[in-house]
Amino acid sequence: MTATEPQAAAATGAADAPRWWDEAVGYQVYIRSFADSDGDGVGDLRGIHDRLDHLAWLGVKIVWITPFYPSPMLDHGYDVADYRDIDPRFGTLDDFDALVARAHDLDLKVVIDLVPNHTSDRHEWFAKARSSRDNPHRDYYLWRDPAGDGGPPNNWKGHFGGDAWTYDENTGQYWCHLFLPEQPDLNWRNPAVAEEFDGILEFWFARGADGFRIDVAHALLKHSDLPDLPPAEAKLAEGVEGPVELPEFESLDHVYDVDQPEVTAVYRRWRGLADGHDALLLGEVYILDADRFSRYVDDDDGLHLGFWFPPLHVGWDAGELRKALTKGAAIRGVSWVQGSHDRTRAATRFGGGELGKARQLALATLMMGLPGTPFVYQGEELGLLNGEVPRERWADPIAVRAGEIGHSRDGCRTPMLWEPGPGWGFTTADDAWLPYGDRSDADTVAVQRDDPHSMLRRYRALIALRNAEPDLRGGPVTWLTHSGPILAYRRGEAIVAANAGDGLESLALPAGPWVVVFATDGKRAGEREVERARLGGQAAVVLKAVGVSST
């Protein structure tokens, strides 16, 4: 490495001592679909507990578990009725304690999902708030008088379609909800709300949680005047394909309902709590613009990490991928993802079939060596495509509540496939809460564990390499290509390269020789490359300098 990249070095925080999440690979568990221990067809905490060995074997070090709190489940747990308990369908607080203990024995950190933007309408705070205008809890939520014509106070829309306001007959005002009407938004300008959440964070720290994934982290505060939103003009970040959400929601320019300057004060406050527990604050910062995103992940007093979502919004195109990756890599504190329980699975988005899977693995390879913390969404390690969910089985409120709008998230939420046979090792129930999709034995963990060329074994090898190779976890990044189908960067004595094109390509290498330490096709490990590295379409490699210093 030469001294010509001072900016890159600063951006990666090379001088700072790494925290545990800087070094780790994370894994998202979508609890409803991971493992069902009690035969009700819905995943649960005991189920996760019993499958933690899989995650330890895979080599990940952080497990993020989606919400398990008591909930009417209208948004599958993102409608929380009590922040300090477990929904009986998912288990008990004792089950949570047992899961944390087992995870820690396996050297896994447990990150839980915090949903602070809204509660369920069944939360006791909301029951009190809507009981009368002068109830002490009234101001926990956002209430406004009707507009002059009796309609909603402004033109805001919900992410799941429809107005962002619902009228309460009893008290004659509207409440605000950026999601379902049954998910009323909290009023984060009320200090009492902030105090409640301090207590909630401490409750889970005391039970051993190692951090929080923060739902809708960019939206907790709204403009205090709640002004009308102007219409959207093609405002997507450069290189990003839209639409990001439902068309109705996207028809407005979200300048007053999300991403308000004051929101980061919440995270400054939480840093004071989290740092005392060596705990992680990981935001779902759904902002695709790098400058605006960066405000949230200030190293001193912001979130430690934020999910960087542009890679979920690009097609399989070298130029688009390059922008999404280089912009994220220049931000300190990104968490890399290519899928989640909210987006079509990566292998499907990238073309489906073996092609889509190969592309997903190539992108995973690129993400695994960049500054930041990569997360694997459950099932990605198997190369799962979206599951087929017939219309009559749709469960996602985006599909069932927004009706004809076909943006269902169910296809990326179908159950994990542990082993061949009825229930796929997921459940002993006759049926799971969602169908499994169109699956084969080759999709299962058990079969892929035994196949040295499987996606699962490739992921495991890739994660093992990152865990073993300090150059993939620290130090500045130098991009080796700036155009063309190959995306490649050097980090210390490692080079990571992927060919986003279809044909054979080659990459000019810095002085070597170099040895292949990982290849997506799995066959070339140990081969030497001098001067040029050859890469087939959709293939990726990690190379390591042999016998030469990197300077």
CA contacts within 13 A on the Cβ side of 81 = 15
- Residues 271-310 close enough to bind ligand NOJ by CB under 6 A: 284
Does residue 216 bind ligand NOJ (CB under 6 A)? Answer: yes
Length of the chain: 551
Burial of 391 (0-12, 13-18, 19+ CB in 10 A): exposed
Q: Which does 342 bind (CB under 5 to 8 A by kind): Mg ion, ligand NOJ, none?
A: ligand NOJ
CA distance 168 to 173: 6
Amino acid type, 535: L
CA 260 and chain centroid, separation = 22
Q: Which does 40 bind (CB under 5 to 8 A by kind): Mg ion, ligand NOJ, none?
A: Mg ion
In the complex, minimum distance from the CB of residue 250 to ligand NOJ, in angstroms, rounded to a whole number = 16
Q: Which residues contact 275 (CB under 8 A, 6 or more apart)?
A: none
Omega within 30 of 0 (cis) for the link into 470: no
Picking from 383, 339, 378, 390, the residue whose alpha carbon sits closest to that of residue 361 is 383
Q: Which does 163 bind (CB under 5 to 8 A by kind): ligand NOJ, Mg ion, none?
A: none
Burial of 24 (0-12, 13-18, 19+ CB in 10 A): buried
Binding pattern for the stretch 322-341 against ligand NOJ, x by CB under 6 A and - elsewhere? -------------------x
CA contacts within 13 A on the Cβ side of 473 = 19
Alpha helices per DSSP H over 279-391: 290-294, 318-329, 346-349, 353-368
Does residue 163 bind ligand NOJ (CB under 6 A)? Answer: no
Q: Of 75, 87, 215, 443, which one is the catalytic site residue?
A: 215
- Residues 22-41 close enough to bind Mg ion by CB under 5 A: 36, 38, 40
Longest CA pairwise span in the chain (Å)? 77
In the complex, minimum distance from the CB of residue 215 to ligand NOJ, in angstroms, rounded to a whole number = 5
Bridge partners, residue 190, by sequence = none
Does residue 419 bind Mg ion (CB under 5 A)? Answer: no
Of 88 and 150, which has the nearer Cβ to Mg ion? 88
- Residues 337-366 close enough to bind ligand NOJ by CB under 6 A: 341-342
Q: Of 79, 163, 182, 284, which one is the catalytic site residue?
A: 284
Q: Which residues contact 217 (CB under 8 A, 6 or more apart)?
A: 263, 267, 283, 284, 285, 296, 303, 306
Does residue 95 bind Mg ion (CB under 5 A)? Answer: no
Q: By the 8 A CB rule, do 441 and 337 touch?
A: no
Q: Which one of residues 95, 163, 215, 529 is an interface residue with ligand NOJ (CB under 6 A)?
A: 215
- CB nearest ligand NOJ: which residue? 78
Does residue 42 bind Mg ion (CB under 5 A)? Answer: yes
Of 68 and 514, which has the nearer Cβ to ligand NOJ? 68
CA distance 31 to 51: 12
In the complex, minimum distance from the CB of residue 475 to ligand NOJ, in angstroms, rounded to a whole number = 32
In the complex, minimum distance from the CB of residue 372 to ligand NOJ, in angstroms, rounded to a whole number = 19
Does residue 78 bind ligand NOJ (CB under 6 A)? Answer: yes
CA contacts within 13 A on the Cβ side of 298 = 15
Binding pattern for the stretch 137-166 against Mg ion, x by CB under 5 A and - elsewhere? ------------------------------
Does residue 179 bind ligand NOJ (CB under 6 A)? Answer: yes
Q: Which does 44 bind (CB under 5 to 8 A by kind): ligand NOJ, Mg ion, none?
A: Mg ion
The answer to whether 215 is a known catalytic residue is yes
Q: By the 8 A CB rule, do 109 and 60 touch?
A: no
- Residues 98-127 close enough to bind ligand NOJ by CB under 6 A: 115
Footprint of ligand NOJ on this chain (CB under 6 A)? 75, 78, 115, 179, 215-216, 284, 341-342
Q: Which residues are catalytic?
A: 215, 284
Binding interface with Mg ion (CB under 5 A): 36, 38, 40, 42, 44
